[in-house]
């Protein structure tokens, strides 16, 4: 299916959104994008939807299964068992990808309507909720069907977990756009 046409929610055309991609080398015990060489991807202003509308859309596309709506943890962590898709459904925040002490870290500001593809192994954390007075920054977290996320912190003893990342399949459908989306062209 090709989901570039507008559905119940406002879905921007895949060729009209702004895309940011970032390769982040491994740093200390955080593998980042070094294992699979798939970049962190942000689709800026890609959708306008409530959490339930975005969840329904992602389920319809079928590349990921929504699992939660929450903010991002403020401790650097990564997942070794799955890639992660984060749809910002309210507020704005500055995030850190790659590890806060990493000289090559990436600290974008994201806001409602942004979709973030976080490859397995990429360290990430919330730096600042820019609407903290309203506790407004929320994301919808989704993962490929059948995948469960784990929590790794770049601590000694996690090397074996990090080694499993190379076996993870990449997306066969774009989580937002189906058969024709940015995640398929990296």
Helix (H, G, I), strand (E, B) or coil at 143: strand
Whose tokens are 């699979």? That residue is 36
pLDDT, residue 133, reads: 72
CA–CA separation, 112 vs 116, rounded Å? 11
Maximum distance among all Cα pairs of the chain, rounded to whole angstroms: 47
- What single string gives the DSSP state of each residue in 96-109? EES-TT-TT-B--E
Q: Give per-residue pLDDT as tens, 3-24.
A: 444 445 577 765 568 999 999 9
CA distances from 9 to 42, 171, 180 (A): 19, 23, 18
pLDDT, residue 14, reads: 57
Element holding 126 (H helix, E strand): strand 124-129
Fold of the domain built from segment(s) 17-164: Jelly Rolls (2.60.120)
- In the chain, what are the domain boundaries? 17-164
pLDDT, residue 12, reads: 73
pLDDT, residue 97, reads: 98
Within the chain, which residues score under 70 in pLDDT?
1-9, 13-16, 135
CA distances from 31 to 5, 63, 102, 120, 128 (A): 37, 24, 12, 9, 23
Question: Is the pTM for the entire model greater than 0.75?
Answer: yes
- Report the chain's mean pLDDT, rounded to a whole number: 92
Of how many residues is the chain composed?
A: 186
């Amino acid at each position: 299916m090709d989901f570039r046409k507008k559905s119940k929610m406002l879905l921007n055309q895949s060729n009209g959104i702004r895309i940011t991609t970032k390769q982040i080398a491994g740093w200390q015990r955080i593998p980042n994008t070094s294992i699979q060489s798939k970049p962190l991807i942000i689709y800026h202003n890609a959708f306008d939807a409530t959490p339930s509308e975005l969840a329904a859309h992602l389920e319809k596309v079928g590349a990921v299964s929504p699992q939660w709506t929450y903010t991002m943890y403020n401790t650097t962590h990564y997942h070794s068992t799955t890639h992660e898709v984060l749809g910002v459904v309210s507020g704005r925040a500055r995030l850190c990808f790659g590890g806060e002490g990493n000289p090559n870290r990436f600290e974008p500001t994201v806001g409602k309507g942004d979709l973030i593809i976080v490859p397995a192994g990429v360290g990430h954390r919330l730096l600042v909720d820019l609407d903290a007075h309203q506790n407004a920054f929320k994301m919808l977290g989704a993962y490929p069907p059948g995948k469960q996320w784990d929590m790794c912190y770049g601590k000694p003893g996690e090397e074996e977990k990090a080694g499993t990342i190379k076996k993870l399949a990449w997306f066969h459908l774009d989580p937002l756009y189906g058969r024709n989306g940015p995640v398929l062209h990296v």
